Structures are given as structure tokens and as C-alpha cells.
Amino acid sequence: MKFLGFSEYWIRLVMECVKTVQYQVLINGTPYGEIKPTRGLRQGDPLSPYLFVICTEMLVRMLQKAEGEKQITGLKVARGAPSITHMLFADDSLFYCQEKDSEINQVVRIIEEYSLASGQRVNYQKSSIYFGKQIPLERREEVKQKLGISQEGGEGIYLGLPESFSGSKVATLSYLRDRLSQKVSGWQSNFLSPGGKEMLLKAVAMALPTYTMACFKLPTTICKQLVSVMADFWWRNKKDTKGMHWKSWEALSKPKAEGGLGFKDIEAFNLALLGKQLWRMLTHKDSLLAKVYKSRYFRHSDPLSAPLGSRPSFAWKSIHAAQELIKQGARAVVGNGENINIWKHQWIQSKPARSLNCVNHIPPGLHHSVSQAITVKDLLEMNGREWRWELLNLMFSEDDRKRIEAIRPGGSSTKDRYTWDYAKTGQYSVKSGYWVLTQILNKRSSSQEVVQPSLDPLYQKIWKLEAPPKYHPTLAYEPKLIPWLLWRLWKNINDLTFKGKEQDALTLVSKAGEDADEWERRKEDREARKLPAMDPQPQVKWKSPPQGWVKCNVDGAWPRAGDHCGIGWVLRNVNGEVLWLGARALRRTQTVLEVEAEALRWAVVNMHKFNYRKVIFESDSQELIS
């Protein structure tokens, strides 16, 4: 008799809990029939993903158990790197082991046990195997026969990306240009307005290479080819002609407020996407991505200060290219200070943050103590919350010292972290990274010759006008029919020139009147939808308590993000003089009343320190307890 292993028994137990439902049909309000579906759960069923994840978790545990017992060996990209035995992508799985028969047998055993228990089967015709360069051809054939897999991988496309980047990167990534050309060629530009072309290019065309650009830095040649395809479509007049390119793509890529059309600069957008990967390594140090790259490229440093290294991979070269971008806005937030270098990391209170690069003249007898200060932790007291004032006065200028004193360390039990200066949330986003590249770094690196005053303020006012974009904005507030007559005359000229059609004067005037009336109705609808302005609430001033009493005001608040709230209290006498105050951070509660009640409770609990007998507690100007 064959006894089931724990993993196989557990999977079968889970699947036994899944029962197929029965259906009945209501006819005139009465149920009839007993319909029993025979196909069971399938891919479209809402329950399928959950069951798939639960069962796959046991497959992962079986692989981890085999690795822990030295039955299989995971892949390591460098010394100290995490060992990887498997990677799962939806319903695709990658398994890694050495080419020894014993390890191959263990992988086959695990897959067969999992297939037997879960009912899932391996499609060997769609599967492929990838060998290391040191494995001879004869051994490769033996392994393929043993596994029942005939195809070798490494030369195709997997999950939308090339499996291998050997050889020319331009040739490898040329599929992006071909895919974009195929997509654009299917759009009939003759039937699209400029607004339609704009939306297709921004929403569809730019989305095609986005996944690849998020992983790899595209060669300049590929970027130019993609730009050429999109520019040809934008300027195309007829199906078989490219049209005249009246403006460069660089001019069209400027924001509309600067006279452009807001198309993406592909190279800048590529770097902004790669910045997301570098930011994740910086802020999620325990992720598999960060651990793998750290073991190979920055074992004793961090992603921001890591060099390119010798013989770097194409993926690391791509992510490393975003270093300057992330350095521009990454601020080190002081926790315990042990991982923030005083002279290398950007941690001083300015926007964007900067590092310290100068010190005062140090007397010869104090050189040794100053030279020991390398990390921010060396500038803090033992509790990690107070600065060593004598050391700050000795080392730094008055301006730098004030900036340091404005920083509140998190304490010895708090870890250092990073925040992004160009986003309100403090988290890096591709949008903010793209803005930094185009508005700060690119403009800083390119010398611009000013031959006339900038027209940007004029462009911004034009786009803010309450006027249709079809006619010149300066006519928006003149007699309402004139701009629409000009617009209709312009359309009539184009129809006569390109289509051989012409409309009489009365029809033009009638249509211009309809356009003007429609625009006026739109303005009236917008005015009607506006909400009435709310009267500002009168400012409530603090009222002093009666003679012989003291008043304790309490309040609480919480940020939009995070799981903590803050409460505080202040005790004042009849003259408004502060007698005592306090604050505390607590786990976040759900409602305003709960926060107010928590603040009141803490104030009452701490009131035993004083001998006040007549106390009025007040929250949001509402007296609570006397």
C-alpha cells in the first residue's frame, strides 16, 4: 500500500472541500430541474485563482524541503547570493537544479507528486529546458530524454521579454519597432482627427514598449526608430504618404504649457521607469531583487553609491543608468543614523536634500574625535533622539548646524529609510521621475541660448482660457459669432481644396450660429453644475475657564497614510499661561470620536501628576468634563 506524503495529503484535503454546485431554473417563480455541471472548476471561475495559489504554496514547500535536505541545489548568481530553486509566474514555473541524475530525479518526483494530488499536468510540448554553458552536448541530450522535454530555451520571447541578450542589443530589441509599426499601420489616419491621433499615440503606442523599458535601457537607435514610427503617423496626411514634419519630436514632447503637445520623450521615460526598479532596491532591501543584485554589485554599499562593476549584466547597466535621477530626489530620513554616511548620503533639510561637504577648522587636539564621526549615529547621543550639541558646534557652520538641529531622529530602535522629495507621499513615481528628468536634469545639462523672452507664460494663459481650442483665444471674448464664422470658412476652404466640396454662405452662417449656441449652452451647463460656495466657518478662539479653574484642551489627528495617529493635550490657567502639555503617538483608530476619546483618556491618566481639583476638559471647543 502506498501512503500519501503530507503535502500530497494536504492538497487532496483542500480539493475535497470543493464541491460542485447544482442549479435549478425558475419558471414562473417555481424551481425546476437538477442541473449538475460536469466540467467542474475552470480558469474563468472566480474561485480558481485562490485554489491555484493554495495548492501552489504546497509545491513551493516541497521544493524548499528538498533544498533544505540537500536533495536539490538552487541557482546562485554570486557568492552570498540567495539560492533560487524556483520562480513562479501565474501558471508558468521555472525550476533550477544541477544536471546530476539525483537532483533531476528529485525535481521529477516533486512535480509528479504535485500533479497527482492537484490534478494539474505539465505540458511537455510547450516546455523547454535551458542548459549552462559548461554542460556538453551529449549530456544535454541525456537530460532532455530523461525529462521528456525536446525544446531548448534561451532564444525566444518569454513573458514579453527576450530570454537572452547575447549579441547586438539593437537586433535583439528590434521587435519593439516591428510591433509598433504593425500596430500603427492598422490605424486609418484619414479618418482620425488630430485629437484622435494624440490619444492613440499616448494611450496605445507608448504603452507597447513600456514593459520592456521598465526592465532594460533601450539603445538610442531603438528609441529613434520608435520616435520615427510615431512621428510618421502623427504627420501623415494620406494613407501612403508620410507627410511633412513641421516640428521635431523634441518640440512635440514638451508639455502643452510650454508650447508642445505632451508626448513622451522616450529616453527620459525609459530612465524614469528604470528609476522605479532602483527605488525598490533602495526601499525594499529584503526583496529577492535587492538581495540578488546586492550580492553581485554592491555587497558593502547601497544601490545609490554602487559602481557599475566589472562585466555587468545588461539589466544592471540599465538600472544603474537611473542613479543620477534617484540621487536628485532621494532623501535619507534619520532613524538611528547608523546607515547614513554624513558626507555621502543626502540627508540635510533642504529641497532637494544634500550631503555635508565642509567642516569648521578643528583644533589639532580634537582631530581624532572628529575623524571618528562617519555616520549620523556618531552625531547622536546614546538614546538616539538627541544631538551631541558640542560636536555639532565644533564641526559645522551655523547654517548647517541649524539644519541638522531641525531634524528629529527616530531613536536607537528605528531604522533609517529613504523618502522622495518630489512627491507629496514621499514615494517615487514614474510621473515625478519623468518631471525631474525633463524639467531639471535635462535642462541643467543642455546649455540654452536665450534670444528672446520665453513664451511659456503666454502658452500657460492660453491653455487656461475658457475658450474652444478651435479658434484663436484672443477672439474668445469678442462678438460671439466672428470666431465661429472664421472656423467654418477655414473648414470650407479645406473641403473645397481636398474633397471638392463647397457650402453656400447661408449654410456657413447657419452652422456658425449653431456652433456658437452649443458653446454657450456648454458654459451654462458648467455654471449650473458648480456647487455653491460654502461660507467659511468662523474661527473659534480659546475661552478662559472661570476663576479658580484650569482648562485642559485635547485633540487628535492622523495622516492620510500610515497606521499611527497622534494625540495631544495642553493645560492652561485663567490667564492662558501653559501649565503642562504632552503628546503621544498611538496605533491608528477608525473614527474621529475614538481619537478624541483616546486623547481625553491619556490626559486624565496623566493628570495625577498635578494637584488641580477644578479642571475643565475641552476638545474641538466642546466642553466634555468639568
Residue 172 pLDDT exceeds 70: yes
Question: Diameter of the chain by CA atoms?
Answer: 100
Residue 14 pLDDT exceeds 70: no
Please name the residues in contact with 209: beta carbons below 8 A apart, sequence gap of 6 or more. 176, 180, 218, 226, 266
Per-residue confidence (pLDDT) for residue 474, from 0 to 100: 47
Name which residue leads in pLDDT, 449 or 574. 574
Per-residue confidence (pLDDT) for residue 41, from 0 to 100: 62
Residue 613 pLDDT exceeds 80: no
List, in sequence order, the alpha helices (H) in 119-219.
137-147, 169-172, 174-185, 194-200, 210-213
The answer to whether 298 and 306 are in contact (CB under 8 A) is: yes
In this prediction the pTM is: 0.70
Residue 4 pLDDT exceeds 60: no
Name which residue leads in pLDDT, 111 or 556. 111
Half-sphere exposure of 351 (CA within 13 A, CB side): 8
Per-residue confidence (pLDDT) for residue 331, from 0 to 100: 92
pLDDT digits 0-9 by tens, 340-358 = 988 888 998 778 888 887 8
Per-residue confidence (pLDDT) for residue 2, from 0 to 100: 38
What is the signed CA dihedral for 118, 121, 122, 125, rounded to 10 degrees?
Answer: -170
Whole-number average pLDDT of the chain: 81
Per-residue confidence (pLDDT) for residue 591, from 0 to 100: 63
Half-sphere exposure of 587 (CA within 13 A, CB side): 0
Q: Say how many residues make up the chain.
A: 626
Chain Cα centroid distance, residue 473: 38
Per-residue confidence (pLDDT) for residue 9, from 0 to 100: 61
Question: Region 241-250: what's the mean pLDDT?
Answer: 80
Indicate the residue type of 232. Answer: D
pLDDT digits 0-9 by tens, 556-611 = 777 666 667 777 878 888 888 888 787 877 765 556 666 767 777 777 766 666 66
Which range is least confidently modeled, 7-21, 164-178, 221-235?
7-21
Cell of 268: 527620459
pLDDT digits 0-9 by tens, 36-95 = 766 666 656 677 777 778 888 888 999 999 999 999 999 998 888 999 999 888 778 889
pLDDT digits 0-9 by tens, 257-293 = 888 888 999 999 999 999 999 999 999 999 999 999 9
What is the share, in percent, of the chain residues with pLDDT greater than 90? 26
